[in-house]
Amino acid sequence: MDEIQDEIIEEFSVFDDWLDKYDYLIELSDDLPAIAPEHRTDSYKIHGCQSSVWIDARMEGDKIRYTADSDAIITKGIIALLIRVMDNRTPQEIIDMNLYFIDAIGLSANLSPTRSNGLAAMVKQMKLYAVAFSGKTE
């Protein structure tokens, strides 16, 4: 997990200003695994986000697999980063995870307050899925 976060930090370190970082986030939105159309409903919607964001999680073996979508491309790039770090991990790994890359790349400091709230809501939901799945595997 730390290796992936360190890769992200390195990728963002080549950009000097936040406009370039936003452009990179937009590029990353293309890498987001597609969410099934039936999961673009209120049941999967993240509340607290300015834009619409849907996240689904399922267990494959002992690992959680995430899919997501958003109607805003920067938000879509942010969720693509979160999935890159948190996807294909055990529930306990996700529960214990320290997402230090968010501060290290300056993401939380350069988002609007509503986008920061949305980021926190996305992380919280992904961790809640992990908590729910950890209870089912015990």
119 CB burial (10 A radius; 0-12, 13-18, 19+): buried
pLDDT of residue 138: 47
**Helical (H) or strand (E) element with 67:** strand 63-70
Q: pLDDT tens-digit profile of 33-88?
A: 779 999 999 999 998 777 899 999 999 999 999 999 999 999 999 999 999 999 99
Closest CA to 107 of 68, 70, 75: 75
Number of other CB atoms surrounding residue 42 within 10 Å? 8
49 is catalytic: yes
Which of 49, 102, 119, 122 is the catalytic position?
A: 49
Which pLDDT does position 136 carry in this prediction? 67
Instruction: Read off the pTM.
Output: 0.92
Count Cβ atoms below 10 Å from residue 47 Cβ, excluding itself: 9
